[in-house]
């Protein structure tokens, strides 16, 4: 497991503006915010990508994520926001330690910009694909 900058923040080796901490989760302000209040929520478990995370850490993250979103809304006064979690360098992950971004969207020019090249789902292909994913979840 890579020794990332987030590991150093968890260990207190480098500073961060912390907003929440418990035994499994840490949240702090992003050093390069896309908008005011841009916050990162990370598990203390050193998983690189979400698919590698334990159920225990995932549950701990899921429990506090909405609570931290509510706090960011309350403090920034911005009700619209994106929650983003990148996995892999090709998917724009720069720090190889799972992290959820909470990014307030105060207006068109601030916050997260998204390109969304939607295709269309064929009925038969959708049926097969969903069946395969269902089976993979159970295995």
89 part of the interface to ligand 5GP, by CB under 6 A = no
Quick one: which of 95, 105, 106, 112 contacts ligand 5GP (CB under 6 A)? 95
Alpha carbon distance 131, 133 (integer Å): 6
Q: Which lies closer to ligand 5GP via its Cβ, residue 76 or residue 93?
A: 93
Closest approach of ligand 5GP to the CB of residue 60, in Å: 20
Tokens for 111, please give them. 């916050």
Q: Which lies closer to ligand 5GP via its Cβ, residue 60 or residue 98?
A: 98
3-state secondary structure of 83: strand
- HEC letters along 85-134: CCCCHHHCCCCCCCCEEEEECCCCCCCCCCCCCCCCCCHHHHHHHHHHHH
90 part of the interface to ligand 5GP, by CB under 6 A = no
| Among candidate residues 30, 53, 54, the one with its CA nearest the CA of residue 41 | 30
Q: Which lies closer to ligand 5GP via its Cβ, residue 78 or residue 96?
A: 96
Alpha carbon distance 5, 62 (integer Å): 23
User: Is 17 an annotated catalytic residue?
Assistant: no
Binders of ligand 5GP in range 27-56 (CB under 6 A): 28-32
Q: Kindly list the catalytic residues.
A: 99
Residues in the site for ligand 5GP, rule: CB under 6 A?
Answer: 5, 16, 28-32, 86, 92-95
């Amino acid at each position: 497991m890579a020794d990332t900058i987030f590991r150093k923040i968890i260990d207190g080796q480098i500073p961060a503006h912390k907003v929440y901490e418990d035994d499994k989760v840490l949240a702090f302000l992003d050093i390069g915010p896309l908008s005011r209040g841009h916050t990162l929520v990370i598990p203390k478990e050193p998983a690189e990508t979400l698919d590698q995370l334990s159920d225990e850490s995932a549950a701990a993250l899921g429990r506090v994520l909405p609570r931290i979103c509510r706090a960011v809304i309350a403090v920034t006064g911005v009700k619209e926001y994106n929650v983003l979690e990148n996995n892999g360098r090709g998917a724009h992950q720069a720090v190889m330690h799972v992290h959820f971004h909470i990014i307030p969207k105060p207006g068109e020019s601030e916050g997260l910009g998204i390109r969304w090249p939607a295709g269309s789902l064929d009925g038969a292909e959708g049926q097969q694909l969903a069946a395969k994913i269902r089976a993979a979840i159970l295995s």
